Structure 1
Amino acid sequence: MQVQELLIYPIKSCGGVRVQEALVTRYGLALPSDPRIYDRRWMIVKDGRHLSQRVLPSMALIQPSFVENGLLLRAPNMPDLLISVSPLPKEIMYCHCWDEPILGLRYDDTISHWFRRFFQSNDQIDLVIFDEKQFQTRSSKNKPDFPNVAEDHHVAVYHDVCPIHLCSLESVTNLNTRLEKKIKIYNFRPNIIVTNGSEPYSEDCWRDVDIGQVKLKWISPSLRCLLPTVDQETGIKDSNQEPWKTLRSYRLKPNQYGIKALFGIYLGQFDGSEIISGTVHQAEEFIANGLITIGSLQCRVKALKPTIPLQKENKRNKESGNQLGILIEEDQVTHKVLVHDVSTNIAENDLKEKIVQVYHGVKNVKRWYSRNEPSIPTENVQIDFELPENTKTLLQKDFINIGQLYWSVYRQLNDLIFRYNAQLNDAIQHP
């Protein structure tokens, strides 16, 4: 699985900027050459309340670019506008992002006039910048309209909920098969665009994402409003409210998330020990895992390679008349999974008792031991199921699951190549 694009949206609801690499910080993606420039640090407000493409779709046409000491804004029929990041404005302005109060530093009337002219408005429209050194961030926790699992260190500045938003190309490709008028993934304004080499919407299942040395944690699905109906290149809202209507026809979880459709996921720092977690790069490989619940524990889980007798497969291969250059594909479902992060203080019998209470068809539960010290248990536990079909429904409730757990088997003469198509792991090959 691979990162395809990285985007920073310095001004809330305005254009995004593609970058080759980005710092992952507590406040979202930041520019490595100038960490003072980070995602949604700026916000346009009307009478102190944030403006959005939901109401003003033409905001998509305000296109920032990064220059020394700040941003350069361009928009149709407007002169270029320089927004400096230092020195910061002095005037403190009391604002609201959604219904939550938050402070900002207001730029002068020259900047305000530029925005009023662009929007052709006589209202009081201002640009504010967040100062993390003197202002308090908004917590990502306890959002009635956005249920999530955020922790104390997960915060937002002028973001809706969380500072990092991820979408996959496979998901938007699947959505486009249902739309008469195709859309681009940029309608959803993600920070990280990935290709997962697997099924669409597999990101629903991810609970932690490792990109290089950076560890990110799933916070919540992204609950979609009408903003993705705005074409980010034209600033025009779709008159038929697509793709919002189509998403609501098949991407709802009403018991958990009400009437809002799900597309993409929100991520945050894995822990809050540092403001900057590290750097992510375009084209970088990444790993994503799901979670399994064992008692009060939540543990990472992945599928194990199924056992396929080589002799039997060779016999089938010969009987089929397969010749060099001809591939035969067969899907087989594994009946084994490996669970990580299981405390060594829990005995195997207790583990099995807890697991069979939740998951059906469990045949065996065994803890793995150290290769060098066979008497020392590790935090890895293998679960074997009676039938492969049991793994197909493993953790299918809600969105906490480990994927379809399919291995595609390719046979070419006497060679076997296993390609792992599980939703939550890299495509890997075994000779």
Structure 2
Amino acid sequence: MLQLSALYRYPLKSCKPEVLDSARFDALGLAGDRRWMLVDAATGRFLTQRALPHMSQLSVLWNATGGVTLAAEGLGSLDVAVPCDQADTLRGVTVWRDSLQVPDAGDEAAAWVSAFIGKPARMVYMPEGRARWLPDGYGTVDDKVAFADGFPLLLIGQGSLDDLSARIGRPQEMLRFRPNLVISGAEPFAEDSWKRIRIGTMELRVLKGCSRCILTTIDPATGLRSQDREPLTTLRTYRQVEGEILFGQNVVGDGEGRLEVGMAVEVLE
């Protein structure tokens, strides 16, 4: 039987995840997921582990009001409230090819994250009304995304990770791939053929495979890169399609609802 075996939320893009037993889903995906982001203070360009692996060590806890608590070794913790969405708080930021205006979290948060990052940075928030559309050719006019790279949700089959670990010869951490939903009970890469699934009362559309990058070579526990460039080295031998290394599926939910770990998963199409 297929079942939802794990749920993860990433309140601040490219930082530590929260492991959840249940989660509410809203118009932008998993509530609280990647609604916050760090940007270069001078350019507004988004910051990630790709260039700053130590972002993997920044702990971020989301609260029901939408705010977060930041914590890191040597810096203590800081509560950051959702900033007002008004003209004098807006900052221009860039996420890949998208340029947008979103509320800045203020100078106290900026000083804290700058100390952690090691250079001037700002922290910004994504209100639902300012969300981005999905990449051209995917989803519908109603599908939107917060600060995730391109899609609201990422799904990975546990069987796919087990297959990869066996090929490499040592266990690989699921969190290297930063999924929101982990499905157990399926054959390796069965999710590649899914188009629609149901979990509980929620239906989800499977849109496209997820192209993987250097971020997957960072150990989520330590923030250190693997010297042998695994798992990319092995994935390239059997998961490369038209120059992209694919692992996991980008997904969008239809409507709102709540999911719990252990729920049955039904493949509808």
Range class of TM-score, shorter chain: over 0.9
- Superposed, 1:118-137 pairs within 5 Å as 118-121=116-119, 124-133=120-129, 135=130, 137=131
**What is the match of residue 266 of structure 1?**
250
Deviations 1:240-282 (A, max 9, x none): 221112111100221xxxx111111011123xxxxx5211111
Aligned 8 A contact 2:105 2:122 in 1: yes
Could you say if the C-alpha distance between residues 236 and 285 of structure 1 is closer, same or farther in structure 2, counting changes exceeding 3 Å? same
Deviations 1:331-359 (A, max 9, x none): xxxxxxxxxxxxxxxxxxxxxxxxxxxxx
In the alignment, structure 1 segments of 5+ residues that lack a partner are 31-37, 143-147, 271-275, 291-431
User: What's the counterpart of residue 212 of structure 1?
Assistant: 200
Report what 1:361 is aligned to: none
1:52 aligns to 2:48 (yes or no): yes
Unaligned runs of 5+ in 2: none
- Structure 1 residue 66, shift from structure 2 partner: 3.3
Q: Cα deviations across residues 372-422 of structure 1 (Å, max 9, x unaligned)?
A: xxxxxxxxxxxxxxxxxxxxxxxxxxxxxxxxxxxxxxxxxxxxxxxxxxx
Matched with 1:308 is none
* Partners of 2:82 and 2:105 within 8 A in 1: no
Equivalent in the alignment of 2:95: 97
**Count of residues in Structure 1 that have an aligned counterpart in Structure 2:** 264
Q: Where does 1:64-75 land on structure 2 (aligned, <5 Å)?
A: 64-67=60-63, 69=65, 70-75=67-72
1 CA distance for matches of 2:92 and 2:117? 22
Q: How does 1:60-209 map to 2 (within 5 A)?
A: 60-67=56-63, 69=65, 70-85=67-82, 90-121=88-119, 124-133=120-129, 135=130, 137-142=131-136, 149-195=138-184, 197-209=185-197
Could you say which residue in structure 2 is the equivalent of 1:26?
Answer: 27
Secondary structure of 1:190's counterpart equals coil
Q: Residues 209-358 of structure 1: matches in 2 within 5 Å?
A: 209-254=197-242, 259-270=243-254, 276-290=255-269
Return the letter of the residue paired with 2:215. Answer: L
Q: If the length of structure 1 is used for normalisation, what is the TM-score?
A: 0.59
User: What is the aligned-residue RMSD (CA, Å)?
Assistant: 1.7
Residues 293-323 of structure 1 show CA distances to partners (whole Å, capped at 9, x for unaligned) of xxxxxxxxxxxxxxxxxxxxxxxxxxxxxxx
In structure 2, the CA distance between the partners of 1:153 and 1:205, relative to structure 1 (3 Å rule), is same
1:26–1:268: 8 Å Cα contact kept in structure 2? no
Moved over 4 A (4+): 86-90
Following superposition, the deviation at residue 88 of structure 1 comes to 5.8
Aligned partner of residue 80 in structure 1, secondary structure: strand
Greater Cα radius of gyration, structure 1 or 2:
1
Cα displacement string for residues 75-117 of structure 1 (whole angstroms, at most 9, x for unaligned residues)? 1221111111265685100100012102211122221111121
Contact 1:156–1:162 (8 Å) recurs in 2: yes
Taking structure 2 as the reference length, what is the TM-score of the superposition?
Answer: 0.92
Higher relative contact order (CA 8 A, sep 6+): 2
Structure 2 distance, partners of 1:65, 1:186, is: 17
Task: Give the conservation status (yes or no) of the 8 Å contact 2:197–2:203.
Answer: yes
SS in 2 for 1:217: strand
% same residue? 28
Measure, in 1, the Cα distance between the counterparts of 2:18 and 2:101.
25
Q: Report the Cα distance in structure 2 between the residues aligned to 1:203 and 1:95, rounded to whole angstroms.
A: 33
